[in-house]
Amino acid sequence: MSILVLKFGGTSVGSVDLIKSAAQIIKKEYESGYDIAVVVSAMSGTTNKLIENINLINSQDDAEYDAILASGEQVTSGLLALALKEININARSWLGWQLPIVTSGNHRHSLISKIENKNILDGFLNRQVAVVAGFQGVGSNGRITTIGRGGSDNTAVFLASALNAERCDIYTDVDGVYTTDPRMVDNVKRLDKVSYEEMIEMASQGAKVLQTSSVESAIKHNVKIQVRSSFDPDNMGTLISEDVLNNENQAVTGVAYSKDEAKVTIIGLVDKPGIAATIFNSLSVKSINVDMIVQNNFIEREETNLTFTVPVTDLKQSLQVLEELKSIIVFEKVISEDNLSKVSIIGAGMRNQPGIAAKMFDCLSKNNINIEVISTSEIKISVLIDMAKTEVAVKSLHQIFELDKL
């Protein structure tokens, strides 16, 4: 019998009525013959309310935090098991410590190291649906652990691997991955398929369908993910899997953007081995998230200009870090600029098609958009531009690469 893992996010189980709808979705897959394990998040709002209460207390204990938060998924898993029984489907809930889902690492940010599948497989022998509380596991000390926000997606992907499932369907409040942000561009198209790598580039660019860590976990375990809407379950949504052949001819499959970027340039930096490591380590220990990095060497002198981007909220602290480094590194001055956006085109087919970058730069130029910084990977080209021109850039790129005609 083939196995499916279905995951329902917080908005998909936000009320008892929605939990009953989820049960109907499960019933349909169940009756088509699959053995099914379900992973649930806490009902939307629950986790935030628990955190509010925790924050009223001025002490921190990550183990207690985990025990408190894990109660949310515990409730949903029980309610969904009851809702399945209501429609005559054999089902039972499983908590992290019961399977168990064994984790390693620190509380609040634990990593799943193993999911014991025996209990679930035994249940399948009786056609029992396993309803697994997401986000939680049990640590080597026997205490409840959690695996960070968005962790239920990771639970689902890991479980799909542990059960060797045919697919992991992630039910959420959007019906798939789009060519770009539907709030910005009218004639967006939903992508039937994207590759893992494309998804990672899109996710890190702001297409908040799936956490990057979940996609990385899917790559590692080779789990096919189907992103689907619980409000439109007949729609198959978007399949995220290994390189998808029929997208190869389509060089560009998505346009992503992130606003409120800032650019920092260190001018006249005396370049020595290890100098970049010193700078970026110093930024990293302050938890400053550096994104694009560009370096222009002046051949004739032993000096360089080093440019990097950070979220505008980290700009002030970034400049402070560089000021403090003045005693150990030599440079002429630091200049910075905010009100910038990063716009990216993404596509696995880009590898095999020359001229994509030229076409992108030409399009931006024709729209009078100046490019501040360029950064590229195998399947992505990103540019830093004036934030005021974000929408024009995204719309024109979406059109020039014919994403509305997919």
Footprint of its own copies on this chain (CB under 8 A)? 16-17, 19-20, 50, 53-54, 56-61, 63-65, 67-68, 70-72, 74-75, 77-79, 81-83, 85-86, 92-93, 95, 97-98, 142-144
Q: Least Å distance between CB 115 and its own copies?
A: 16
Q: Least Å distance between CB 141 and its own copies?
A: 10
- Between CA 100 and CA 119 the distance in angstroms is 9
- Between CA 263 and CA 290 the distance in angstroms is 10
Of all residues in the chain, what percent are helix, strand and coil, respectively (each to 5)?
A: 40, 30, 35
Contact (Cβ atoms closer than 8 angstroms) between residue 203 and residue 211: yes
Contact (Cβ atoms closer than 8 angstroms) between residue 104 and residue 111: yes
- Between CA 25 and CA 315 the distance in angstroms is 46
Residue type at position 297: N
- Using the minimum distance from each CB to its own copies, give the nearer residue, 86 or 242: 86
SS3 352: helix
Q: Least Å distance between CB 334 and its own copies?
A: 42
- Using the minimum distance from each CB to its own copies, give the nearer residue, 78 or 206: 78
- Using the minimum distance from each CB to its own copies, give the nearer residue, 86 or 323: 86
SS3 23: helix
CA angle, residues 355, 361, 362, in degrees to nearest 5: 85
Q: Least Å distance between CB 82 and its own copies?
A: 5
- Using the minimum distance from each CB to its own copies, give the nearer residue, 114 or 224: 114
Q: Least Å distance between CB 94 and its own copies?
A: 10
Residue among 128, 156, 88, 158 nearest 1 (CA) = 128
- Using the minimum distance from each CB to its own copies, give the nearer residue, 85 or 359: 85
Q: Least Å distance between CB 98 and its own copies?
A: 6
Where do we find the tokens 């970049």?
276
Q: Least Å distance between CB 79 and its own copies?
A: 6
- Using the minimum distance from each CB to its own copies, give the nearer residue, 108 or 259: 108
Residue type at position 339: N
Query: How many residues would you count in the chain?
Result: 406
Tokens of 198: 């494309």
Residue type at position 246: N
- Using the minimum distance from each CB to its own copies, give the nearer residue, 11 or 265: 11
Hey, how many other C-beta atoms are within 10 angstroms of the C-beta on 111? 17
- Between CA 173 and CA 241 the distance in angstroms is 21
What is the Cα 197 distance to its own chain's centre? Answer: 12
Q: Least Å distance between CB 42 and its own copies?
A: 10
Q: Least Å distance between CB 92 and its own copies?
A: 7
- Using the minimum distance from each CB to its own copies, give the nearer residue, 16 or 270: 16
71 φ/ψ angles, rounded to the nearest 5 degrees: -60, -30
- Using the minimum distance from each CB to its own copies, give the nearer residue, 65 or 280: 65
